[in-house]
Amino acid sequence: MARVLINLPRTARRGEVVEIRTLIQHVMETGYRPGADGVVAPRDIITGFTCVYNNEEVFAAELAPAIAANPFLSFSLVAAESGILAFTWTGDNGFEQTETRSLTVT
């Protein structure tokens, strides 16, 4: 399990634009970098990210080898109704991790 940081408000007014920040601790090994022994380290990156809000995908991103370690993503959405936000990171070697947060809309 990678360490994940997520920042979003616990509550929002209906129709309010909410900013969300996420960060996952990951090496983002490019697959091009030789190690001290001269052997190129195999690629190991996060390749995809989605945010699902009450079963609807509201944000997605594709990540590439040029993206720095510990990828930070910031995006916004409109608070429509109370519910669950599910954040999923997928990557090389079958990596997949999902975190959820609740948002109360008043």
Residue 90 contacts residue 96 (beta carbons within 8 Å): yes
CA dihedral for 40, 41, 42, 48, sign (positive or negative): negative
CA distance 25 to 79: 27
Among 11, 14, 21, 100, binds other proteins (CB under 8 A): 21
Residue 23 makes contact with other proteins by CB under 8 A: yes
Residue 7 makes contact with other proteins by CB under 8 A: yes
Residue 5 makes contact with other proteins by CB under 8 A: yes
Based on CB atoms, which residue is closest to other proteins, 15 or 38?
38
Residue 25 makes contact with other proteins by CB under 8 A: yes
Nearest Cα residue to 66 out of 32, 26, 21:
32
Helix spans in the chain (H) = none
Among 11, 60, 72, 100, binds other proteins (CB under 8 A): 72
Contact footprint for other proteins (CB under 8 A): 3, 5-7, 21, 23, 25, 69-70, 72
